[in-house]
Amino acid sequence: MTTIAKDFRTTLEMIKIEHTLFALPFALLGAVLAADGLPSLYQIFWITMAMIGARSAAMTFNRIADKEIDARNPRTAMRALPAGALSIRFARVFTIASSLLLIVAAWMLNPLAFYLSPVALGSVFLYSYCKRVTSLSHIVLGWCLAIAPTAAWIAVRGEIGSSVPLLLSFVVLLWTAGFDTLYACQDFEFDRSAKLHSLPARFGINNALRIARGLHLAAFLALIALYAASGLGWLALVGVLATGTLLVYQHRLVKADDLSKLNAAFFTTNAFVSVILFVTFGGAMLIK
């Protein structure tokens, strides 16, 4: 039993289950906006299952694809697969099971969600190979997370029919690309030596930080556009202002000559952004 519990804990660490805080609130927000209030418990359950399946499949497939690269990088050498804590066979089975969970959840929601589920899976699998060929891998990751709010909207309505979910997805895309660019700064030297592509590896840390600021500025402007399009009130405006403040704070933490606070900027700030927007925009919809 102890071995099972240890393997379960190692699996959760491998897929970084805590990072679900970044994406799940956006999916739930998409569902709330689509429902003009609270979705049904049935919809909430299957949207959550779809998110768990998609994210678990994405992270595990990424770990499989990057096993040899992770083994050479001192920062990632102790991850479960390169360290031998979990087997490749287990990871492959877990990826298949997680993918099936997403597909089943989409089937339980509505036909359009089911038909589009391979697009979500294809996107997250493609991302795992992007650093081998393009510095725009951060944008591809943004696209992968940006699927969540529009997918949840489709899960509730069975169609799009509005600019609101697309604007929310655009916010998520730009926001994710910005913080992933920041996060990649810590692997600047390794990526160059391993001939991997990233914005820091291509342009240097100073320029990468500028690009990240530009992406987050664009995300904030897209958030203002979302606020205008949604027609929500003062509480949503509080969310816009709080998000802008957190983005500024995040960039004040990270300096080109001092990346020691990068984890605080990445984990804490980003979790707050998604939760704040869910509470404020979702709450404003309930008030409305």
Predicted local distance difference test score (pLDDT) of residue 9: 75
Predicted local distance difference test score (pLDDT) of residue 83: 85
Pick the CATH number of 14-287 from 3.30.420.40, 2.60.120.260, 1.10.357.140, 1.10.150.130: 1.10.357.140
pTM: 0.91
Instruction: Say how far residue 59 (Cα) sits from the centre of its chain.
Output: 11
Predicted local distance difference test score (pLDDT) of residue 201: 94
Low-confidence ranges of the chain (pLDDT < 50): 1
Domain ranges of the chain: 14-287
How confident is the model over 259-282, as pLDDT tens digits? 777 776 666 777 789 999 999 999
Q: Which long-range contacts (CB under 8 A, 24 or more apart) does 76-79 make?
A: 79/14
Predicted local distance difference test score (pLDDT) of residue 1: 43
